Amino acid sequence: MAAVEPRRRKQEVPEEQPALFYLMRRLERAEDQHLARTFSSYHRTHHEVDTHLLELFIRRIRQQNIFVRIMGPNGKRESLLLSKVLFSMSKVIRLYCSLSVRDEDNVYLRIFPDTRTGLIRVQRLRGGDVLMPEEVFAHADQCHIIRFITRWIVERVDWQKTKLRNLDIYKLFVQTRQEQLEQKLASLNEYAQMQRVIKGGNRRGGRAEDQA
């Protein structure tokens, strides 16, 4: 004969349970509202700053044999590879204007995205004095930051060591420009031929009408 399982006693509901569950429902609703407000506040005060093109630009130019003249440790201008004065890490770019034996005497530009304002900022700092940066430039469009860096480089290029014809990017630039010019000439020739055909057809049509 099979054993009969003892009937489980019905668990009594504590008297305070409905009140506790009411509190939990209110807290759950309040938490959802808090998360919604936090999310909304974050997006009002934090802006996505696109620096993808800027980072690609920095990575490519660091690979080129471009020499720039900056102030060296001896107080005179020295010629250095761009890769020795331009660094990028975690979306923060450092561009050294002068180098010294002591780190606290180095002068550099710090370029970084400011998610609070949605701008890319360019600040000048001396050594470890990060609490007193000098604002040099700021813009929301990374293309304007690329122009700023381009001007900085052009003004300091050492033309005795930098040869455009030896730069991979310049070779690509010349090749692309030549291909675009050839395409433009081909389009112009095609357009000119089409115009000649149209004019020839009009002249033949005019002679046929005169003969009629």
Mean predicted confidence (pLDDT) in 132-145:
94
pLDDT reading at 29 higher than 90: no
pLDDT tens, residue by residue, 84-112:
999 999 899 999 999 887 777 889 999 99
Containing H/E element for 78?
strand 77-81
Q: Is the pTM of the predicted complex or chain greater than 0.85?
A: no
Mean predicted confidence (pLDDT) in 6-33:
78
Please report the pLDDT score of residue 4 as a whole number: 54
Mean predicted confidence (pLDDT) in 48-58:
93
pLDDT reading at 122 higher than 60: yes
Give Cα separations from 40 to 34, 36, 186 (angstroms): 10, 6, 55
Percent of all residues in the chain with a pLDDT value above 70, rounded to a whole number: 84
Containing H/E element for 199?
helix 168-211
Which tops the pLDDT comparison, 32 or 149? 149
- CB-based burial of residue 140 (10 Å sphere; 0-12 exposed, 13-18 middle, 19+ buried)? middle
Please report the pLDDT score of residue 5 as a whole number: 57
pLDDT reading at 10 higher than 70: no
Label residue 8 by pLDDT band (50, 70, 90): low
- Which of 151-155, 183-187, 192-196 tops mean pLDDT? 151-155
26-36 in b/e form (b: 16+ CB < 10 A) is eeeeeeeeeee
Give Cα separations from 104 to 84, 115, 128, 130, 203 (angstroms): 18, 28, 5, 10, 82
Structure tokens at 31: 């938490």
Please report the pLDDT score of residue 19 as a whole number: 87
How far apart are the C-alpha atoms of 31 and 124, rounded to whole Å?
43
Percent of all residues in the chain with a pLDDT value above 90, rounded to a whole number: 49
Mean residue pLDDT across the chain? 85
How far apart are the C-alpha atoms of 95 and 149, rounded to whole Å?
9
Please report the pLDDT score of residue 9 as a whole number: 60
pLDDT reading at 202 higher than 70: no
